[in-house]
Structures are given as C-alpha cells and as structure tokens.
Structure 1
Amino acid sequence: MASRLIKSLLPRRDGQDVRTTALDQDNIDFITQSEDAIEKNDLKNSTVEVGEEKVVPGASSASSESAFADDDPAVRDIPASVRRIVSLEDDPTLPTLTFRYFVLTLLFVIPGAFMSQLSHYRTTYIPFSVFFTQIASNYIGMWMAKVLPAWNVRVPFTKWGFNLNPAPWGVKEHVLVTISAASGATYNLAFAPISIAELFFGQRINAGVAIVFMWSVVVTGYSFAAISRQFLLYDPQYPWFQALCQTALFETQKKQREHPDATSRKQVIVFWSVLGFVTLWQFLPEYVFPMLGSMAFLCWVAPRNATANFIGSGFGGMGFLNLSFDWSNLSNLSNAGNMFLTPFWTQVLIFAAFVLNCWILIPAAKWGNLGSYKHGLMSNKVLTANGSTYPLTSLITPQATLNETAYEENGPLHLGTQMLWGMFFDYASYTSALAWIATFGYPQIRDAIIKIRARNRDKNHDTINFQYTDQLNILQRAYKEVPLWWYIALFMCSFVSIIAMLGAGQLYIPIWTYFVAIGTGAIVVTPLGWLYAISNFQLPIGTTNELLYGVMIQAVSGHKNPTGASVYSSIAGDAWYRAQYMLQDQKIGHYMHIPPRATFFSQVFGATIGIPINYAVIRWVLNTRFDYLTGAIKDPSHQWTGQSVQSTLTTSVQYVLVGPVKLFQEPTFRALPYGFLAGLFCPIILYGLHRLFPTSPLRFRLWNTTIFFSALSTFYGNLSTGYFSGFIGSFVVMHWAFRYRYELWAKYNYILAAAFDTGFNFNMLLLFLCFGAGKIVVMPNWWGNDADNSERCFALDS
C-alpha cells in the first residue's frame, strides 16, 4: 500500500514515467524531464517537469529568459522553476546600503526579534514572518523615497557622508532590509541555557555575559557558512525553496512598482485579502474559539469516554482524525515549515511518520505490549518508578556532582515510552544525515569538488563562483566577493569571546569541550545544509549534541550542572543552524543580484541589533511566566508550557548528571544507542536497492530516512493536532494544484505562503497588544472555550 501511495505521487505525463536529471539523479524526483523530450532533445515544445511542477520553457515571467535558448550554457544548468521566477538581468547602479536601509532595518528587526523569541516559550509557534517585513518595508520605502529630502549629510568628525534620499526606492535596498530582518528578527538558541539555569537551578546568568554569548553563537554559525557556500550557494541546481519563494515575491513587487500589469495587480489583491482574512480568523482559535485549534470529533461523540477521548484528543492524545483550523498548528510541522513551500514528497514522509508514531506506536504502548513502563506515555518529563515527577534539582550537589543519596532514594530515571522511541529515532536521524549524503548526495559533492579544484588551478580567476558558468553566477562577477578572511575574522570574534567567558567560569562547560562543539558543527554543516537546500527540511540535532557532551563530561570532575549540556548544544547547534540560514539568505541575494559584501553586512548587522531584544524578551518571560514554565501552575491554554525548555532539561539531566553509561545500563534505555546504527545502515541499504533496481516503482531514493526518522522523533504528547489537516492541505496545494492547475499555482502559491504567515504573526502581535501587554484580558468561557477542556475531552485525564 505504501509503495502504491508513493508511486501515485510521482509525476507522469501521458502515461509515461519520468526520469531524474541533475540534482536528483541519485536522490529524489526533484527535477525531471519526460523521456520523449530527452530523446528528441526538443525541449522548446515539450513540458519540463520540476518535481511535479510543469513549466513551459520560454513562458517565464522573467523578461530576460527569452534571450537564451534552452540549451544555452548560461541557463541550461538553472532549473526551469528558477528560470521562471528569477530575472537574468541586473542593474549594478541600484543603491544598496542607504539611510533608508538602516532606518527600516531598525524598524522591523526590533519587533520581529521580540515576537520570535516570545513564541519559543509556547507549545506552538511560528517564527516572525519575514514576509511581513518584505511586504511592509516595500511600501514604507516607497513612501520615504517620496518625502525625504535629497540632502547630503556628513558624519560628524569623519570624512564620510551620505545622501538621505539618493534615488527612487530600489529592489536591492528592499532585499537587504528583508535579509537583515531574517537575521535579526528571530530567536536565539542560547535562550535555553539562560532559561534552564534560572528556572530550575536558581542561577541567573549575568546580563552582559548572556548577551555576548548569544551574539557569539550566532556569528559562529555565520562564519561556518563559508564551509559550504562554494557549492550549496553558487551551484544553480540547489533551489533553496524558501529563498525561491521570497524571490518570487520580490520580483512581483518590483514589477508592480516599475511595470504594473493585470497579473501583478491581482497578486497584490490576493495577498492583502488573504492576509486580512487570516489576521481576523486567528482571533478565533487563538482567543475566542479555541476549539477550532483542535476539533476532536470522537470527544464530541463520547465526551465522557476515556478511551474515545484519548484517541481523538489533539492536546494529550493520539489526534486520530482530529482537524485543526489554527495556522500555528498547520504550518510548522516537524521542522518542515510552511505547507505552501515544502515539497509534497517531504510532507508525505512527515505524515507517514506521524501516523506510525501517533496512530500505531502510541496505542501499542498504551494498550499493548510495547514497553514495560506504562506511566507518562504523553509526558516529556523525567519520572520516577511510580509515575510521579522526578525531583531533578535534588540530584545536583553544591559541588555540581550527582547526589548519589538522592538518586538511590528516588530510583532510576524513567521516561514515557514515546520519549524513549523519540530518542532512538533522533539518534538515527543524525547518522542517517551523514550516511545519506555520503551515498545519494555523493555525485553532487564529487562534481563540486572537481569544479573547485579546477578553479584553484586557474590563477587567472580569483572569484569563488568562477567554476559555475550559468547566467546567475556570471552576473555576480560584477561585484566583489566576500573574502574568506571576513568569515575568519567573524569567527575569531566569537572564539575569543567564548574562550574568555569559559575561562572565567561563566558558561558551565570546560574549555576543551568548546573545541569539540565547533569541530562537530563544522562537520555537519554540509550534509544538513544539503538536506535543507533540496527538501526545505531542517534536522534538529540538539539531543545528539547533548549526548556527546554527556559522554565527554563523565571523564572529568565537576561541570555536572545540566545547564552545561544546553550551553554546549547552543554552540554546536548554531554552528550549522545559523550557517544554513546565512546560506539561504545569501541565495536570495544571489537570485536578486545583490553585491555579496552588502548581503554579508546586512546579515551581521541585523543579528547584532536583534540579540539585545531577544534577551529583553527572555527576562520578561522569566519574570512573568515563571510558574507556568516550571509546571508549578498549569496553563489552561496549553501554550505556556515551555516544552522545548522542558525537553532540553530532561535530556541534560540524563546525560550530564546520571551519565550515558549509567543511563544506558538501565533496561528501558539499553536499546537506544542502536539508533545510531539504524541511521547509519538504513541509507546504505536503500542506496544498494536503488543501485540494484534503479527503475523500480518503489523509487527507493524517495524514502529519505533522515526526514522520516526525524519526524518519528518528534514529541506529540502536548500537541498531535494539525498533522492530519496539514497533510490534507498540502495534498491540495502541493500535489493537486501543482499537477493540474500549475499556471494558477505558479501565480499565487508563494503569495499565499507569504500572506498566511504574515497574517498569523500580525494576529499574534495584536493579541499581545490588545489582551496581554498591559492588563491581561481573559476570554470568558463558553461552549467553544470550555474552562475544563477546550476540546470537550472531559475524561482525558481520568
């Protein structure tokens, strides 16, 4: 059945199979062409399929595409979907880092950093939408170009000066403002150790140390982008779906400003209409009518039946046939991002993992023989043998070592079965990412290395993108490249700062583990960036980083504060996390022909502005939501659970205080390390099957075990709603409309993606300002907002 499902999702035309080319030759059906067209070499009159996308060459909205033949070396390596969106012409005279840029960057980074950091203490969240900045900054920029005087201003006591209004509002200013917001209007991984130290161990990290540490982990990742940029950034075959989506919107806005036509006007109308609708709609599931966030039909049928409640509930149950109409539940499923952006094959894998996890494994654990420990199945907390919450803080002594007496009194640590298999598959996803790129991704890496070596042998060329001869790279040669020493200097700033803080004993970890953190981060940048570039899926590896730290720290005395594991994970995690985002935004700059040095500056500047705002939010949340986050008081909305902080604490205590050796000797944990072997061998087996049966209808290269294992590791205890609804939505948008209404999809899909995310984030801002900034206004209880259970699953906890 599974093979028939996957087979049905593959693109076909006139009953014929399609075969992969370029990027997907040994990986996924991402870029495909019909066999007839390949054989005839007549693409002008054929349909080129991109994944499931049908593109007619020469029909691009980019005005310059018609100037190139399809077999022209300048465009033949650029995917048809990219050629349809990206302009192949450039005007190097357009302004970039202007006075307007700096004003708008401050205007959008500050609230964005606030909203995004605030969201990460909630159960469900969507990061501050960069699309909001992209839309709003365009209108404000045009307004500033109209009203600002064209005065030349000299910076006092320097020879430097600038013009307040040098030219009409241009696309390059617009892109740079958006990239700065993407860098600064986000959250910071270091919020976890800062929060854990204060919430659970009563240790408040100095504000100056916290802010410098937050900045340092970010720029470590930015500097590590240099490791992969030579082929993940410049190689035209890597689309980076989020970058392509934003580029489509930039091009639409540019056309509307400079050469408006009926299509661009309709796109603008659709965007604002959907944005307004989503903004108003979200007041219902988020405030007035919470039942819309999780519509548990089985609970309506049997509201007092414990079994029916558990099966149907999306808040603490299996979420079987549960529907959600809350965009926060639909759009951020297992790190896949917006359903309008993520390829359907990725979403199929994620939904399959959800079904296996929630609809098969959870009932097998609750009512069957899967796992001997029957307490806390839907809990992410550490438990005792009788199911009560484990007093974790009692395990640490004043000397930061394990309190053996308390450990003997409370007994071994226990986790719910769902958390246990989540850890197993989390380990598997880590090694799977490395094995997958070593097998299915090897041809692309090999070709990139050959090109880089050829460039290095050619002393007449000093530009990094020389080895690529497509039109996009040719246009970028008009600008100075970012020299490698800029990245090295950025890294040294973070390196010196962190070494100084570690030497002063401010960050809970020994200095030598820092070197391991940056070393492992450097290793995974390329495989995880490659996965994100082709699938829009980001692999979380925090648990594995904490395990590695736990293994190392057991060999030394002291440093047994669990906060140290999250410090280590912040460093090692941001080394690849921020590197991916830097590469993604630089891909936008590449698509929009922005000078690379201006792009680099805008990223570092945006992050530097946003980090103090992140810290201010951390202080506000810890001061006002402390009891909710520790679990002393239950939040009736199920939102202020601090789920990510709680999960980090759980793994940190396991690996740091108890230690991997003692932990994995316990019967319930003994099988978990085998997850690393499963992740290592599964891609090798699938690759062997793919090589043996390359034309098999099972399409083994589609079964990306990294995505599947990572989705299986997701903890669904607090939230299992939204996945069924999200899969239905993705089927309509990314499969049906993509295949059968492509022209309509191409015009409006990315516009809708921007509108939904922007509308949701604008609604969150309004909710905070109207009902939570000053006096907290609570929604009165009614049928759709029951005081006991908004889903009306009244027997769920019985």
Structure 2
Amino acid sequence: MSDEKFDEKKHVAGSPEPVVHDNGSSIDEKHFSAEVADVGDDVNALAADVEQAMAYAEGLTQEDVDDCLNHIVKAHSQDPNFPTRAMALVRQYLFDESIKADPVAYAKLYEEVKIEAALVMINSPYAEVRAVVSATDDPTLPSFTIRAFVIGLIYVAGGAFINQFFSIRQPGITIYANVAQLLAYPVGKACERFLPDWSFTIPFTGGETLSLNPGPFNMKEHMVITIMANVGFSTPYTKYILWVQYPERFFNQKWAKNFGYQALISLSTNFIGYGLAGVTRRFLVYPAHAIWPNNLATIALNRAFHSDSNAVVSGWAVSRMRFFAYVFVGMFVYFWFPNYIFQALSYFNWMTWIAPQNVLLAAITGSVASTGGLGLNPIPTFDYNQITVQGDPIINPFYTTVNLFFGCLLTLPIIVALWVNNVWYTGYLPINSNGVFDNTGARYNVSLAVDDNTLFDHEAFKQYSPAYLAASNILLYGFFFAAYSSTISHSILYHRHEIWQGFKNILARKSFTADAKYDVHSRLMSKYKEVPEWHYMIVLVISIGIGAAGVGAYPTHTSPAVVLYGLLLALIFCVPVGIIRAVTNAEITLNVLAEFFGGLWFPGNANAMNFFKSYGYVTTAHTLSFAQDLKLAHYTHIPPKITFWCQMVATFLSTFVSLAVINFQMVSIPDVCAPNQPDRFTCPGANTFFTASVLWGTLGPSRMFGAGAIYNGLIWCFLIGFVLPFVFYFLNNRFPITRYFHLPVFFLGALIWAPNNLSNIWPAVPLSYAFNVFIKKRYLGWWSKYNYVMASAIACAIAISAIIQFFAVQYKSVDIDWVGNTVPYAGCDGGGKGCTYLTLEKGQHFGPGVGEFD
C-alpha cells in the first residue's frame, strides 16, 4: 500500500461529481442496462453504485487503476468479506498473461476492473457497508449539542442504575444501547419542538456558541446518544470483586466497603481500555477491512429514523421506518409466547417428551441450558433469542455462522464419546454443565478446601476431593486453549500486512494518510481533528496509577504490579482478537486464559487472581468495545474529539451510579446473595465468580492441569491450536475456497458448550443463508434497504418486550402453570441437575478418595 497522501484534485479532475444516492433505494434493476447489471453481479453492487463508479472511473488513468488493483490484492486477498467474483477478475487482470492475447476480452476485463477500482475509491468495497453507511458527509451538521448531551447523560444514569440493580437478581434484567437508541428519537424530536432557541458562549473557545435548540434533531446527535449509552450501560466488572469480598457468605472482607477503594479499582478498570483503544485505532478503526458488522444494524436503525428517501426496491415501497415498525410490533407481541406464555417454543426439545427419563435421549437431543443435553434436534426452537448466543445470524457473515456451526457440530461426538466411556469420570456427571463437581457428583463445596481467611488449606483439601468437570466443560477448556494460541498464529499469517502497516503508521505518527486513497470514510474523517495520542496515553497512565493505588493501599494481599501483568495480557491479545472480531463479528474472550495464568502466577490468592482477570480479560473486552464505538463514529462521521469526551463523561457517570447502587444493595437488602432471599436477589453472577475465584485462585489450575493432574493432557491444545493455522494457510494457497474456513471462529463454535448447545447455533444456519446468501444475491436492493433494519427491529423488540414482561409478570412471580410451560423442563433434560450416564450408591465416590490424592 502506498504511503503517498491522497490527492483529491488528481483523482477527481475530469470526472463527474459523485452521484449522491440512497443505497438500496435505487430504481428496480431491470431498468438498467445489461452492462451495468452484469458488472453489478460481478462486484456485488447495486446498479446505482455501479453507475456512480462508472462515472468516476472516466477520470482515472491506467496507473490509478493498476495501483488500486494491486492494493486490492494486497489488502483483501485473504479477506472473506471481499466479493469472490471481483477478486477473481482482479487477479485475472493482474496475473493472467494469457488474457492479453485476446485484445477484445482484455479491454472488456479492463473496463470491468476499472469500475471495481473506482468503487473502492469512492465507496466501501463491501456491500454490507454500502447498504447503510453514507459515502458523503455534511460537516455543518451539529453532532455535539446540549440536548443530545443531556439526553445521553439521563439515559446513561438510568441504564446503569437498572443494569446494576437487577444484575444480582435471578432472573435478572439487562437493557442495551439499542433501547436507548430507540427511545432517544421521540425525546430528541420533542426537544426540537419545544425547547427555546437560546444560545450560550463556551468559555476559552474564542466565542464558539451552543444553542439549546439548534434545529432539527439529526442523525449525528442521535448517534452521540447511542455511543454514550453503549459505554454507559456497561457496569464496572469490578462489581464482582466487590460482591465476593464484602458479604459474610463469601470472603467477608468488610474493608471492601471503603468507597475510595471501590472508586479507584472501578475507575481504573473502566478507563484503562480507553488508553488501549486509542493505541489500537490504526489496527481496528481506520482500516477499511475492519467492518465491525454489529455497527451496521445500529447505523441502519439510525438511518431509518432520519432518512427521507423511499424509492421502490424489488416491488417494495415500504419505508425503512415503517418496515422497522412492522417487524418491531410483530416480534414484540410474538416474544411473549416463547419467553412467558408458551415456553416450549423456546426449548422445543420435543424428542425428550417421548421418554422424559431416558438418559441417552435427553443427553443427545435435549436442549435446556445449564444441565440439559447437547441439542441434536432438527427443529430445536422457535425463539429468535435462543439462536443469537454467538451473534445475530442476520448480521453475522454467512461464513461466520457456518464456521461456528461446524465447530459445535464436529465436537458433539467427542463429548458423547468422553461421557459414555467415562473418560475422566465424566459418566458420573451431567453431560453438558458448566459446574464444578466433587468425587460424589455434587457441586464442589469450595468452603471445604479453604481456611477461615479463604486461603487454600492443603489438609482440608486432602480430606475433601479433587475438582472435576463435565464432558462438555472439559472439551470447552481444551478448545479455549487452542483458540487462544490459534488467534496469535492466525493473525500473523492472515493479517500480518495490516498489523505491520499499523505499527508503521504509529511510528510515523500517521492516521489516515496511508489508507485514505482507498477508503472514502477515512478521507471524510481526515477533515476533523483527531484526538492526539497523548490524550489516550494520559488516560492509560492515570488508570494504571489509580488501579495500582487501589490494589496497594488496601489489604488486598496483592502486589500492585498485578495491574501491569494484566495489561501485558491485554496488549498481546487486543489486536489479534480485535481484528478477528472486526472482520467476522465473532469475539474470543480471554476470561479462561486470565483465570488460568492468574491462578498460576498468584497461587493460593483468589483476590490476586481476580485482579489479574480484571486487568487482563476485562481490559481487552473494554478496548474492543470502545474501538467498536470509535468505528461507529468513524462510519457516521462524528468528530473524534466529540466521541472521546462523550465516552469519557458517560463512563465516569456510569461508574459512580453503579457504585452507589452496589453500596445501597449491600446494606439495604436483607439477606442479599442468600439462596432463599425473598425478592430473588441471590447474586447468581457473584456466586459463579466466587466459585471461579476459589477454584482458580485458591486451589489453582496446577491441581487440575499441572504435571500429574487429571486434565494435564489438555495443555497440548495450546500447541495444537498454534500449529493448525499454518496447515490451513498453506491449503488456502492451493484451494482458495478454504479462505472461508476461519480456524479461530471454528474453535469459537466449540465454545458454545456448557451451558449452551447445538440448538443455539444450528437454526441460525438456514436463517443466515436465506438473508446473507440467497436474498443478498438475488434481491440486493431489498437486502440493502431492509436487512439491517430488520435485525435492529428484532433486537429492539425482544429487549423492550423482555423488560415489560419482567416488570409486569416475572418480577411479581406471576406464572402460567400449564403443559406448554412445564413439558420442556420435565425429566432428565430439564430437571435442574441433569441425569448422569453412571450412578453412585449412597456413600460411594469415584476417582481417588481421602488420602489417595494430593
């Protein structure tokens, strides 16, 4: 890729002005010439996009075209999102010498690839992005306004309060940013209508003013509110640390009630991700290949609210907003049935109804989460919410959904083989559970292996039991190990050019200049002042400092250096994991790796492991979340400085709202976190976190995976995962179709198990094929206009319907007791504990007994 700065005059001179059009709203394709239609099929573009590119291509020289085509091969040859047919034509033009022997064919090919080059220069190379993201910008449109900022803060405070307050209740409730995005529109329009047009001068800005009502509520203001909600609705992960420290039933560390301690560690873990997000902008935000597919549904909803155009596509004259309303209402009403009225639609484990107590039948075909079966069922659910465990199939690229499915499907017989052959004593445990068990098959009682200070008690441990995992959970850990190492090698092989370019741009202190020639959005954003690198560095340094102060100034029995250890883990993985997520919409989380290494580095110290997990796993997760929001602002052309400060303020407010709620809950809710708490504030997340804290932090992974330990063989999965991408990379050079096989995403499919199962991914395959292959190929206009609007409508409807159901009936424990709500949970599949292949008599145990293990 050339580092030459893009010269707009050079490439625009002699060419017509770009045609501003509404992607997906063009006239029916039958009215266009056969030539335009053929080119559109080859490059996977709407006829209007092709016409615009043809007009622009008139001003390109052959040198311009050749440079762009070489860039396409270099940047997109391993890109599964780039149109296959277009890549084949580009390669034929550049590398097939035989085509030049036929001047007519060569001239025709040149004209076609010239249009592809023009399309890349003036728009996105991806139909998914062109469908919802405008290739033009109006810099005069205000994005930071008083009304948008105030609406955003109110929603952040309300969302943080609800998410934190109900996070410790079973069942809980969580609201997401799409709810704020939906509700912000009527409030913004009301402000537009009723607020007076009062102006205020901003101090120290040379007379810059802000108006209370600057005119119509616009899409940039709307997106600023959405971005604030995105970051503000996420409560601090350190809430789990606080919950397992303070209550008597857990660690009973009353000093954890100190608000200074809470604020330091919460602010640190919340803000440290911003520093890394700023560093990783050149890898995860600026490059054109970093699509971040989830953003497209957010932008589609925004566009549905604010777009005035409504041309007919494929015979459909329904506007985006009306289409959104139809889908929203339909799903809002329908979701009452699988979620509350007729729950058998959600867990449609119909084969187990034949013989509910049949252990093998339930284990193979059952699908109830947590202790149910493996979900081998051709029609397992009619609940859309069940099939979005690993992402929305309407948003995810089809190859992502297929890789996830095969990763899950091909590991199913391995789990069955482990279980029926009683490998590692798995036959005495439920087949698909994420629990930890002792040698009687009961849930592991960590209190029997620690002393009064919750530190590891070796003698007590020897008098109790080793820890055991179910068959699916054992496989899960093995594939987690393989996924982590494969992420590193896969990124080196498939994304080394992008990573190297990012490092070069950091050293040269460049942002858009290297890519602007071939990325219209970077070119448009280059007109706005970027946030200086030192802003992010200051945030990073301060976050490290206050985190170390919080750990070191209080009796955590943990070295403040744990902050740097966790940060090192995040630095290693945030770019590889981020690139995979930005391209495929699939994220490999670092929670297991953080627990594994945290337990090894800080043996016997649960607090230290928890802090390492927070500063390793959570920092990476926050970095990617913030980077995704930066890309959202990049696509919608919001000035970077506005995005930066809105994210910072929203996160700051959200942190203190969450802490206030936590402190209220700790002292004001009777018997909080107790199993029989009358209002169901039983803290399910905190209980799981506490078990993991003691298991990995106190007992330590060496007693499960170390030399001589029962699961020691799984350590080889690290090496296997690292090596396998090299095999598929060389296969890819011989068989190009294998570029759609994505090994880390395949491994991610195997991570669905425990507690989820095949029923959570199999129904997504035909749905994804229908929308992202069949309809996209044959009805590109319809797909471009409605696909992401539909995805957003479904997600919003489910979220708001779930909230109303929760407060209207579930919170009050109003249940409908009929067969449609009881049959899924009858027998082995839904009994709550899960049936086992082998059973023990009373007083028996499996594996080594007391005095037989160490």
Q: Distance in 2 between matches of 1:398 and 1:629?
A: 19
Does the 8 Å CA contact 2:156/2:232 hold for their aligned counterparts?
yes
Structure 2 match to 1:515? 564
Alignment of 1:365-380 (within 5 A): 365-368=418-421, 370-377=423-430, 378-380=432-434
Corresponding letter in the other structure for 1:189: Y
Corresponding letter in the other structure for 2:213: N
RMSD of aligned Cα (Å): 3.8
Alignment of 1:354-369 (within 5 A): 354-357=408-411, 359-368=412-421
**What CA deviation, in whole Å up to 9, does each residue of 1:697-749 have, x standing for no partner?**
xx333332212223313333366643232333223222332333332222111
Structure 2 match to 1:576? 620
Corresponding letter in the other structure for 1:445: I
Q: Distance in 2 between matches of 1:497 and 1:243?
A: 32
Q: How many corresponding residue pairs?
A: 742
- TM-aligned CA distance change 1:702 to 1:235, over 3 Å: same
Determine whether 1:200 maps to 2:250: yes
Following superposition, the deviation at residue 616 of structure 1 comes to: 5.6
Q: Distance in 2 between matches of 1:17 and 1:97?
A: 37
Of 148, 170, 174, 1:101 maps to 148
Q: Distance in 2 between matches of 1:188 and 1:41?
A: 60
Q: Distance in 2 between matches of 1:763 and 1:255?
A: 26
- TM-aligned CA distance change 1:116 to 1:404, over 3 Å: same
Structure 2 match to 1:149? 196
Corresponding letter in the other structure for 1:318: L
Determine whether 1:324 maps to 2:368: no
Q: Distance in 2 between matches of 1:402 and 1:220?
A: 31
Q: Which moved more, 1:125-134 or 1:582-591?
A: 125-134
Q: Distance in 1 between matches of 2:218 and 2:533?
A: 29
Alignment of 1:133-148 (within 5 A): 133-148=180-195
Structure 2 match to 1:608? 652
Structure 1 match to 2:825? 789
Determine whether 1:215 maps to 2:267: yes
- TM-aligned CA distance change 1:405 to 1:300, over 3 Å: same
Structure 1, unpaired ranges of 5+ = 1-11, 49-56, 58-68, 457-461, 555-559
- TM-aligned CA distance change 1:524 to 1:44, over 3 Å: same
Following superposition, the deviation at residue 399 of structure 1 comes to: 5.0
- TM-aligned CA distance change 1:384 to 1:752, over 3 Å: same
Structure 2 match to 1:188? 236
Structure 2, unpaired ranges of 5+ = 1-37, 45-68, 94-105, 837-854
State percent identity of aligned pairs: 23
Does the 8 Å CA contact 2:404/2:746 hold for their aligned counterparts?
yes
Q: Distance in 2 between matches of 1:283 and 1:226?
A: 42
Q: Distance in 2 between matches of 1:598 and 1:421?
A: 45
**What CA deviation, in whole Å up to 9, does each residue of 1:237-261 have, x standing for no partner?**
32221223323333333323xx566
Of 427, 433, 450, 2:487 maps to 433
Following superposition, the deviation at residue 674 of structure 1 comes to: 1.2
Q: Distance in 2 between matches of 1:645 and 1:732?
A: 40
Following superposition, the deviation at residue 790 of structure 1 comes to: 6.1
Q: Distance in 1 between matches of 2:138 and 2:348?
A: 52
- TM-aligned CA distance change 1:91 to 1:677, over 3 Å: same
Structure 1 match to 2:322? 269
Structure 2 match to 1:178? 226
Of 724, 729, 732, 2:770 maps to 732
Following superposition, the deviation at residue 435 of structure 1 comes to: 0.8
Structure 1 match to 2:101? none
Corresponding letter in the other structure for 1:541: L
Q: Which moved more, 1:378-387 or 1:515-524?
A: 378-387
**What CA deviation, in whole Å up to 9, does each residue of 1:25-77 have, x standing for no partner?**
135354433435764586898699xxxxxxxx7xxxxxxxxxxx952774277
**What CA deviation, in whole Å up to 9, does each residue of 1:640-665 have, x standing for no partner?**
99776555445433432223333323
Following superposition, the deviation at residue 436 of structure 1 comes to: 0.5
Q: Distance in 2 between matches of 1:592 and 1:683?
A: 35
Does the 8 Å CA contact 1:196/1:563 hold for their aligned counterparts?
no
Q: Secondary structure at the match of 1:374?
A: helix
Q: Secondary structure at the match of 2:234?
A: coil
- TM-aligned CA distance change 1:768 to 1:173, over 3 Å: same
Q: Secondary structure at the match of 2:569?
A: helix
Determine whether 1:226 maps to 2:278: yes
Following superposition, the deviation at residue 349 of structure 1 comes to: 1.4
Corresponding letter in the other structure for 2:716: Y
Following superposition, the deviation at residue 528 of structure 1 comes to: 0.9
Q: Secondary structure at the match of 2:389?
A: coil
Q: Distance in 1 between matches of 2:703 and 2:85?
A: 54
Question: What's the TM-score once normalised by structure 2's chain length?
Answer: 0.78
Question: What's the TM-score once normalised by structure 1's chain length?
Answer: 0.84
Determine whether 1:309 maps to 2:362: yes
Q: Distance in 2 between matches of 1:135 and 1:44?
A: 46
Structure 1 match to 2:799? 761
Does the 8 Å CA contact 1:240/1:532 hold for their aligned counterparts?
yes
Does the 8 Å CA contact 1:181/1:606 hold for their aligned counterparts?
yes
Does the 8 Å CA contact 2:375/2:758 hold for their aligned counterparts?
yes
Does the 8 Å CA contact 2:282/2:511 hold for their aligned counterparts?
no
Q: Distance in 2 between matches of 1:366 and 1:282?
A: 35
**What CA deviation, in whole Å up to 9, does each residue of 1:340-370 have, x standing for no partner?**
111111111111122234x413322332354
- TM-aligned CA distance change 1:650 to 1:424, over 3 Å: farther
Corresponding letter in the other structure for 2:795: D
Q: Distance in 2 between matches of 1:732 and 1:265?
A: 21
Corresponding letter in the other structure for 1:148: L
Structure 1 match to 2:352? 299
Q: Distance in 2 between matches of 1:202 and 1:787?
A: 41
**What CA deviation, in whole Å up to 9, does each residue of 1:524-579 have, x standing for no partner?**
1111110011000111111111111112113xxxxx34243232211112222111
Q: Distance in 1 between matches of 2:40 and 2:424?
A: 49
- TM-aligned CA distance change 1:544 to 1:585, over 3 Å: same
Q: Secondary structure at the match of 2:85?
A: strand
**What CA deviation, in whole Å up to 9, does each residue of 1:126-179 have, x standing for no partner?**
963433332332232122111101123579999997431123222221111111
Following superposition, the deviation at residue 792 of structure 1 comes to: 9.3
Q: Distance in 2 between matches of 1:682 and 1:789?
A: 40
Following superposition, the deviation at residue 794 of structure 1 comes to: 7.3
Q: Secondary structure at the match of 1:724?
A: coil
Structure 2 match to 1:459? none
Q: Secondary structure at the match of 2:428?
A: coil
- TM-aligned CA distance change 1:436 to 1:129, over 3 Å: same
Corresponding letter in the other structure for 1:317: G
Following superposition, the deviation at residue 517 of structure 1 comes to: 0.8
Choose 1 or 2 for highest CA Rg.
2
Structure 2 match to 1:747? 785
Q: Distance in 1 between matches of 2:399 and 2:387?
A: 17
Structure 2 match to 1:51? none
**What CA deviation, in whole Å up to 9, does each residue of 1:478-501 have, x standing for no partner?**
221101111112123322221111
Determine whether 1:684 maps to 2:726: yes
Q: Distance in 2 between matches of 1:575 and 1:367?
A: 40
Q: Distance in 1 between matches of 2:483 and 2:597?
A: 15
